[in-house]
Amino acid sequence: MWESLLALAAAVALLMLMQAFVIQVFTVSSGSMLPTLLPRDSVLVNRLAYRLHPPHRGDIIVFRFPQADGREFVKRVIGLPGDVVEEQSGRVYVNGKPLALENTAGSGQGTEPAMTIAPHRMPPGQLFVLGDNQAASLDSRYWGTVDIDKVVGKAFLVYWSHGKEWWDVRWDRIGYWLP
């Protein structure tokens, strides 16, 4: 009996340590990352992913909102330090080339509202992030770049997903590894 309780306490302690330092749970609250992430998808975030290397273009990251209100967002990294990012008539360019990422509802293909962002060289330590559903995403185009120090980690797995009601489980989403 005591051995079982001790094993349970050790498992709970290990889970709490992992939650604090290694893995974080993040629940998507909007449609800004459609079709990759759906509202009410719960994803696992690797908090150690960027301790050894910086984020890469195309990574899906969770970060603390740049305007310091405590919220966390999930977006895709588009621009890295030193890159030149611009948008003309709804088409996003990185280093003079049209943005081409799979699994996005927009992908810089001109499907979002016409907008113009003058060419902007990314400063050191800053990332330019976009939602995959660019027409419905508040992102770096609106509130600027994200400091790398505000990145919580890399989203890597949908571990739970449900519709508007908690019992409406989206079984086909569970276990979906993020690109």
- Residue 148: CATH number of its domain: 2.10.109.10
Note if 4 is an active site residue: no
Q: What is the distance between the alpha carbons of residues 85 and 160, in angstroms, rounded to a whole number?
A: 34
Question: For residue 67, what pLDDT is reported?
Answer: 79
Structural domain that includes position 50:
23-177
Task: Tell me which of 75, 107, 137, 140 is the catalytic residue.
Answer: 75
| 11 belongs to a structural domain | no
Q: Is residue 8 a part of any domain in this protein?
A: no
Residue 97: active-site member: no
Report if residue 16 sits inside a domain: no
**How many domains, the chain?**
1
Give the β-pairing of 91-94 and 146-147.
Answer: unpaired
Q: Output the pTM of the full model.
A: 0.85
Q: Is residue 17 one of the residues assigned to a domain?
A: no
Does residue 4 lie within any of the structural domains?
Answer: no
Low-confidence residues of the chain, pLDDT below 50? Answer: 107-112
Assigned domain for 100 exists:
yes
- Give residue 56's pLDDT: 97
Q: Is the Cβ–Cβ distance between 7 and 29 less than 8 Å? A: no
Tokens (6 digits) for 72: 């966390």
Per-residue confidence (pLDDT) for residue 88, from 0 to 100: 86
Closest by Cα among 147, 149, 156, 150 to 58: 156
Active-site option among 4, 30, 32, 107: 32
